[in-house]
Amino acid sequence: MRLRRDALTNIDYSEAKQRLLMALKNGSIDEYTPIRMKKGYRYLDAERITSLNPVIVRSLLEELADFGKLSRRIVHNLVACPTCGSTDLQLLLTCSECGSTRIKLGITYQCSNCQSYFLKEEIQEEERIKCPKCGVDRPRYDKTGSFYACLNCNSILVLPVWRALCRSCGLLFDQEEAGIVELYSYSLPESKMHESTYEAILNYFSNEFKKAGFSASREDTLKGLSGVLHRFSLIVKDNGDEKTKLVIDIASGTNEVDERYLLSFIIKVRDVRAENSLLVVTSNINSKAEKLAQKQGIHILKVKNKTLQKNKLKPILHDLLIRMTLKTET
C-alpha cells in the first residue's frame, strides 16, 4: 500500500530528503526500519532526523526509493483490516462451521449407541439415564479426549480457525478477506553504500590522525623518488619534519585484489618513501597478495560488510599510531 503523494501539497522537502540520505552516508544510521508502535508502524529515526510527522516521513522515504536514491527491502507483510485498513488486530479462535467466537475447549464424550458427541455438562442429570440424541436407556458414554465445541451452533469437534478482529472497526475477518500491507526498510543502494563506506573510513582515519597531531589530506598526490606523481586516498604526514608517515589507498571495484595490484601499490609506497601503508580492500584479496602484503609490511583492511564497523578500525588505527610514533622517536 503506497501512500498518496498528492497529500503532500507543494512544500519542498528537499532539505529533509538530503538529511535522510546524509545520515546513511555518514554511517550514523544503517537503514530506516519500521518500529512497531501501539498503533501501526513508524520510522522513528527518520522522523527524528527530519522533525517531520510520520505520514510525510514515510512518503519521503518512498519517494527517495522511487527515484533510486534508496533501496527498499520488505520486512513484513502486515495483515490489515479490509474495511478500515487498520493493522491493530486481535487474533481469535472461531468455529469453522458458523464463524462464532463462542468456542470452548473441553472433554468430549461419545454415545456408544448413536456415536453422537457431547460435552461433559450436556450429559449431567437425566441425560446420564437417556441419551439426548438417540434416547437409548443408560447409554455408555466413552471419553474421547479434549476437543473444541461451539456454543453457538452446538457443533462438537469443531476445528477452530484463526480470524482477526479489527480493534478499530470491530470487523471479524479471515485470511482470504485480509488486506496486506507491505512494510519496507530503506537503505542506500549497494553502489552508494560502498562509496559511503570509503567516505566513512577515510573520514575516521583522517580525524583520528589529526587528533594525534599529524596532518592528513584526502585525495592528494606525492612526488616519488622517480619523479612520478602518485595519488593516494589519504596521506598522513608528520607536522614537524613533513615526513610521510602513512599512505592509504582504497582498492574499490569488484575485482579481486591480486599480487599484481598489490605490487603496483607497493611500488607507489616505496617511491614516495612512506613509512607505513594501508590498503582497504572491499572485494576479495587472494592468498598470494595477502602473503606479499604481510612480507612487505603493508596493512590490509578488509571491509566486507556494507556498513562501517568502527570497532574493526580501532585496532588498525592503534597499531598504526604505535608504529608512526615509534619511528618519530628513533
User: Where on the chain is the footprint of Zn ion (CB under 5 A)?
Assistant: 81, 83-84, 86, 95, 97-98, 100, 111, 113-114, 131, 133-134, 150, 152-153, 166, 168-169, 171
CB of 41 to Zn ion, least distance (A): 17
Write out the DSSP string of 128-143.
Answer: HHB-TTT--BSPPEEE
CB of 168 to Zn ion, least distance (A): 5
Under 8 Å between Cβ of 80 and 33 = no
Classify burial at 131, counting beta carbons within 10 Å of its beta carbon; exposed 0-12, middle 13-18, buried 19 or more: buried
CB of 164 to Zn ion, least distance (A): 9
CB of 156 or CB of 279, closer to Zn ion: 156
CB of 76 or CB of 133, closer to Zn ion: 133
Under 8 Å between Cβ of 32 and 187 = yes
CB of 132 to Zn ion, least distance (A): 8
CB of 166 or CB of 320, closer to Zn ion: 166
CB of 37 to Zn ion, least distance (A): 17
In Å, how far from its chain's centre is CA 216? 34
CB of 77 or CB of 115, closer to Zn ion: 115
CB of 62 to Zn ion, least distance (A): 23
Classify burial at 70, counting beta carbons within 10 Å of its beta carbon; exposed 0-12, middle 13-18, buried 19 or more: buried
In Å, how far from its chain's centre is CA 141? 57
Measure the CA–CA gap between 229 and 235, rounded to whole angstroms: 13
CB of 129 or CB of 326, closer to Zn ion: 129
Q: How many CB atoms lie within 10 A of CB 18?
A: 11
Q: What cell does 194 get?
A: 560502498
CB of 129 or CB of 169, closer to Zn ion: 169
Q: Which of 219, 325, 242, 320 is nearest to 276 (CA)?
A: 320
